[in-house]
Chains A and B, each alone.
Chain A
Amino acid sequence: MNRIVDAIPYARFLGVEVERTDGGLECVLPFRQELVGNAALPAVHGGVLGAFLELTALLRLLDESGSGPVPKPITFSIDYLRSAGPSATRARAEIFKLGRRIANVRVVAWQDDRNRPVVAGNGKFLLS
């Protein structure tokens, strides 16, 4: 899976890592100063968090399908729940419908406590 991440320039740009845990695939976004949106809090940029969720959803789909064309995002919706402080953010995606042409994916990201999510997303991807 980390090979796939290496093949996606934007994933390298964000510094995203993939871990395989008991519960499945987990993506990690290590904190870096360049990712900050609000320097005073400091908080990770909302756009970065949205991108991280979308990337997690995409990697989850690629993990499911193996090789093949990269699924194309149709729409992606992000709920910002808390500000994300200066530590690593982790995310996990769940495919709740894998159709022949469309996949629906839910993603949740948290920092220290999995029960206190910082951002959640919902995306639809065009397969094939």
Chain B
Amino acid sequence: MPADESSTPPRRYALQSLFGPAQDGMTMHTPHAVHLGIRVVETGPAFGVCALPFREELIGDPRRRVIFGGAITTLIDHASGLAVACAVEELRAIATIDLRVDYLRAAEPDLELYARSDCYRLTRNVAFVRAVAWERSAADPFASALGTFMLGANRTNSSYERLVRGKSSQ
């Protein structure tokens, strides 16, 4: 470990504890994530892992029983929002600016899908993320993605922001 790294105080990740696996703070306040059954698997400094259960309704190519690419986009978008939430030091509205998904291969049917997103760079206004999605092993992803998010895009009074405010004032 480089010498200067040990002297850096640990960063404060204000929202990580709220959105961890047992919390589902973000997912439960996003109707579409609830509808899809997306759950939080893991959170940590500037990253989030989400899972999407396989469902017949998500199939895009009936002949091959492959999940529609767009459903993977939703999973990656959600994991990426989570990663940004786990990177910022205080709550700010997070809005996707753009997202590019590369479909590396077809996802295997009947398996739960996972996505991990890392917020690798955070500026005052913009968060940059990269993500991968897999079904068996993170080392063998079927999709990879790059995205950018705007911070403080809109001031909302969503139920999850009220939840966060309530928790941080405790």
Contact = CB atoms under 8 A, between A and B. Distances in A.
B42 interface: no
B120 interface: no
B31 A51 contact: no
Given A10-B58, A39-B158, A45-B30, A79 B98 contact: yes
B96 A40 contact: no
Q: How large is the interface on B (under 10, 10 to 19, 20 to 34, 35 or more residues)?
A: 35 or more
Contact of A70 (B63, B70, B74): B63
B95 interface: yes
Q: How large is the interface on A (under 10, 10 to 19, 20 to 34, 35 or more residues)?
A: 35 or more
B69 A73 contact: yes
B75 interface: yes
Nearest to B64: A70
B12 interface: no
B13 interface: no
A47 B77 contact: yes
Contact of A77 (B35, B63, B71, B99): B99
Interface of B: 29-33, 35, 56-63, 67-71, 73-78, 95-103, 106, 154, 156-159, 161
Interface of A: 7-13, 33-41, 45-48, 50-55, 58, 69-70, 72-80, 83
